[in-house]
Amino acid sequence: MAKILAVTNQKGGVGKTTTAVNLSACLATLGQRVLMIDLDPQGNATTGCGVIKREALPTVYQILIGRSTLVDARIRTEFGFDILPANRELAGAEVELIEMGGREFRLRDALAPVVDDYDFILMDCPPALNMLTVNGLAAADAVMIPMQCEYYALEGLTDLVATLKKVRANLNARLEIEGLLRTLFDPRSTLTQQVSAELDEHFGRKVYRTIIPRNVRLAEAPSYGKPVIAFDRSSKGALAYMALAQEMLDRRDGVAGKAVEQGAMA
């Protein structure tokens, strides 16, 4: 049965979409069966996989309102994983879901028939606690939290943890924090180092050892509709996400690997 992860943070610009796309590609490269779900109406994860948003029908929107099934909507990418695409019409799902029964569980129920088809299901959630994010959290086994090592990120993390506790109490008792991922990391910054140390102190093993550095190739790859591993396999960004994928597999398999500070220390 698939491990279902919501990649989420209520703060924007922290690398959620970058992580969802590149981690999906790296896990697929390591032989895993992966489905990525784009839950953001901007559809950036969709285009980042080389899928043209306006031509991708049906999308997650049709899934949520019951006009299609996930089996019919998923698309096989050229990078070895499947995607459930999104486009601007997903924004309308917010209004339509309000009047639907079990609106928080529409995605969870849609995933049930395919959950055994995959090893990992990653959901790119929007940077807001809306009905789309709630659907992702209600369907997930755990959350991955990408975050920058800066002061405001710590404040946002406190709010997010409180939100997750409420979801666990009311919608999804199995929901847990899978891990905190340090992104856009600049080791030259003293503040970055201090915040990183605080995360280690307070969250311990919940913090991934792998660190994602600031890397121009990570920023360039989406404009070519490719994950970074297909754009520049030897770049620091590609190496970091491959290390993260391997760390996730090691965690799943109970392997006590060495701490990997891949990318930021390179």
Query: pLDDT tens digits for 87-127?
Result: 988 988 878 888 888 999 999 999 999 999 999 999 999 98
Mean pLDDT rounded to a whole number for the chain: 90
- CA 27/CA 82 separation, integer angstroms: 12
Of the pLDDT bands very low, low, confident and very high (cuts 50, 70, 90), residue 255 is low
Q: How far is CA 39 from the centre of its chain?
A: 10
Of 179, 207, 205, the C-alpha closest to 195 is 207
Q: What are phi and psi of 176, to 5 degrees?
A: -145, 170
- Using DSSP bridges, classify how beta strands 120-124 and 3-7 pair: parallel, antiparallel or unpaired: parallel
- pTM for this predicted structure: 0.91
Q: What count of residues does the chain have?
A: 266
Query: pLDDT tens digits for 218-232?
Result: 999 999 999 999 999
One-letter amino acid identity for 58? P
Q: Summarize the confidence of residues 27-54 as an average pLDDT.
A: 95
What count of other Cβ atoms lies within 10 Å of the Cβ of residue 252? 12
Contact 4, 111 (CB under 8 A): yes
Query: pLDDT tens digits for 121-171?
Result: 999 999 888 899 999 999 999 999 999 888 777 777 888 899 999 999 999
- CA 174/CA 195 separation, integer angstroms: 29
